[in-house]
A and B are shown apart, each in its own frame.
Chain A
Amino acid sequence: MTFQLIEHDANLSVVALPDAVDLYTGAGVRAAGEALLDSGCRYLVLDTSAVTCLDSTGITVFLAFWQRLAGTGGALVLAVPDAHLLRRLTLLGLDTVFSITPTLEEAVVQARRLRAHPVGRPAAPPGTRTEIA
């Protein structure tokens, strides 16, 4: 299983991460994500539901995505259904850095909301769901 693009809609991409994002796969995941960002993605949704192994290299990859997206006014949204992974991200203080939701659906909704109303503007109802099928 590798970095898998499951949705790509203008500047919003939804990606499923492999089961391991670590020392061995981190570079590949990072390169694939950077390529997406290079091609104009501003709102990146990462589905972590398959991730069982995330080490400091993996965290660094998330941070690299986040730093680039934050720099362009975009956002990184993580769907983290696993409580253990959520706990680790929370301990790292990353729950306040990234936008984290328990499901992929909510993550996509969140990303659309952020796109429709960038930080600083009042939040509005979620974007049309049909757009992402």
Chain B
Amino acid sequence: MTAEREQWPTSRIHRSRAGREEDENLALLFGTSPALFASMAGPAHVLEAANPAFFAAIGGGRRERTGLPLGELMPELAGQGFIGLLDQVYRSGERHVGRDARVVIGVGEEAREAYFDFTYEARRDTDGNVIGVRMIGVETTQVKQARRLAAEQRALLEQIARQAALPDVLDGMCRAIEELSPDVIVSVLLADEDGRHLRHGAAPSLPGFYNRAIDGIATGEGVGSCGTAAHRRRTVIVSDIAADPLWDDFRDLAGQARLAACWSTPILARDGRLLGTFAMYHRAPRAPQDTDLALARVFADTAALAIERHQAEQARLAADAREKAARDDLAFLLTASTALAGRLDETETYQRLVGLSCPALAPLAAVDILDAGGVRRIAAAAPTEEAHRLLAAHVPARDGEADPVARVLAYGLTEVARRTPTGPGPWQDLGVTGYACVPLLDRGRPFGALTLLSTDGHSFDGHRIALAEELARRASSAARSARQYEQRASLARDLQTGLLLPELPDIPGARLAAFYHPAGEGLEIGGDFYDVFPRGDGSWAFILGDVCGRGAKAATTTALVRHTARAVAPLLDDPVDVVKAVDKALNDRNAHQNNGFVTLVYGHLTPAADAVAVHLVRAGHTPPLLLDADHAVETVEAPGGLLGIGIPPRLACRRLALRPGESLFLYTDGITECRTDTAGQYGDARLAKALASAPLRSAAADIVRAVAEDVRGFVDGGDVEDDQAALIITAGEPAPDRD
């Protein structure tokens, strides 16, 4: 168009005899061209010739005539300055070029806004005198609208890309369209997730009562333009609301809002899902033109983009929230697991459980456990001391059905209620409004219950209950472990006690003392043992040894060694024979295992007038120490290998006499081999020193105590890795009793 216009510069107008003829030709030439052409004559700008495009542009109909001054044909022009411009060109002969000039064409209801690029140029006679003005123009209204539309569209897309709030985007879109087409009122309705109802989206120019009235309408045939368009998934054109059956139910409402026409286009997602409707209302009955429908499609697509983006964002936020909730839950349970791990006794476990529950899950929490047929409240947590006192003192009713705790203990199922628990309790004082009672299960059997109590403004949702149940599961498992640990420790204690002498016998002419320290925390049965028993002829047998390994297997080996020794000792005078019998018993038992061995020192004591005679055998064990009256230490060497490995131990008996004040000290290598990171190994030298450090003429018990204390000081609270045992036999009259 621009190029075409450029072909008509003044300088190149062919000058024929008469400008009039020329312009008539021009009018013919322009013919059906979309370009506007009009030729005016004289100072009154009488329209002499114009092409159909011109007449169409100025409104056609009765305006389609020549011979009238333009100002009369189009009276609206005067007020817009165009007649003045024509006057100016006529007077000066100088061309005027206007670009994108806004012209309101027509008057009153018929008036329309249009834009033009145009040229006013002087028509001259052969003498060069101006005889009129020629107008050549092109209507740019659509181009301009398209440009504005594109600009609006771009602005909206930018908004969408910036993730502006959906209502803002939709509102802006409505306003933009209304500005582009001043006689249009735009509304956007949003579909519910199920696509069966429409919610108010944006309609800045529709009255509030109207928006409220149609908010939530169902989609369906006959539900106005929008409900029907949503239902049909197709554009629905109602050009006259007053006459259209689709509006039967809404006609009065539309009348109140002064709406006469409504064209609605469904807004569909890329996958065809209904997102909403885009409607254009008019105050007067009107059918859309192609351009109107194109506009509607463009904006329905834009709206679809905005809504989909919004939904994606909402979904992302929801997913984030879910993820955060899941992370929080995980963190809570991780904290809980950590708090419930470690070496706890059962009661500590329950205390941790209520501590974790309160206030994270409820303001008040308590744990009850089944105990000797009854219910015992074992832990409680509350925000105040008074509440804690009330909660801790309350014991749920024992009756099977009266109290939720009793029911949960009976059936093992969680119970939740939004009222105070049935059965008596300090509910009023605590302000209890609801409860959740979760069972503590051991292999499916309830052994206790966690009760969470809510107060004002607090309730238990499914999520909280699930957390409480998970927490209860972990606590149950921790409590079970604690119980098992306690049972095992107590079993180990019992077994150990059974394996060790409850107290050493009184032997005439000698004093005995022993020391026993099992490794670890007493959970395992140690491998060290000692025994002293009469042989029935006035002499005594003593034994101190170390069984390879720990636990139940070590316990059976210990029992085998001790019982064998006790059985054969009265019959065999030579300690070597007794130890051989023990070795045989071990080898017989180990025939198919070959992996357990025993080291020991065994001997016989025969009290005599001036000394205690000792016959001893060492079988692979740490050699005994002889402590003389001055506490000088001497090792009692004796050959002999360990027992229970299937080869003869090559034993040899050692005889010694313990004179009054002299001691024989038997010990296991748990003492000398014990080590710390800083001080290294305890060692033989330190043991000798510890023995020597006991006051002279000490009682056997004092010497053992001196050693035990020195070892304890050496270890300094650290874990002892191996069992430690010692037995001391001191000859002669005991030192003055210190007890």
Interfacial residues, chain A to chain B (CB-CB below 8 A) = 55-57, 59-60, 63-64, 67, 88, 91-94, 96-97
Contacts and interface: CB of A to CB of B under 8 A. Distances in A.
A92 B595 contact: no
12 contacts: A55-B721, A56-B548, A56-B597, A57-B549, A59-B597, A60-B595, A60-B596, A63-B597, A63-B645, A92-B599, A93-B649, A93-B650
A94 B623 CA distance: 15
B570 interface: no
Determine the main DSSP class of A at the interface with B: helix
A64 B645 CA distance: 9
B548 A59 contact: yes
A59 B597 CA distance: 9
Contacts of B623: 91
Contacts of A55: 673, 721-722
- Of the candidates A57, A63, A67, A91, the one having the most CB atoms from chain B within 10 angstroms of its own CB is A91
- Of the candidates B619, B623, B642, B650, the one having the most CB atoms from chain A within 10 angstroms of its own CB is B642
Contact of A92 (B527, B594, B596, B642): B642
A59 B643 CA distance: 12
B621 A64 contact: no
B722 A67 contact: no
A27 to B, nearest CB: 12
Given A63-B645, A94-B620, 5 more contacts: A56-B527, A63-B594, A91-B622, A94-B642, A96-B650
Contacts, number: 53
Contacts of A92: 599, 620, 641-642
B594 A64 contact: yes
B534 interface: no
A67 B646 contact: yes
Contacts of B721: 55
A57 B620 contact: no
A93 B642 contact: yes
Contacts of B646: 67
A91 B647 contact: no
A97 B597 contact: no
Nearest to A53: B675
B448 to A, nearest CB: 37
B446 interface: no
A67 B621 CA distance: 21
A93 to B, nearest CB: 2
B527 A93 contact: no
B620 A56 contact: no
A40 B597 CA distance: 27
Contacts of A64: 594-595
Given A63-B645, A92-B620, A97-B641, A56 B546 contact: yes
Contacts of A67: 594, 645-646
Given A56-B527, A56-B549, A59-B548, A93 B594 contact: no
A85 B645 CA distance: 20
A19 to B, nearest CB: 13
B732 interface: no
Nearest to A94: B641
Contacts of B619: 93
B540 to A, nearest CB: 25
B639 interface: yes
A127 to B, nearest CB: 27
- Of the candidates A64, A67, A92, A96, the one having the most CB atoms from chain B within 10 angstroms of its own CB is A92
B243 to A, nearest CB: 95
Given A55-B722, A96-B641, A91 B620 contact: yes
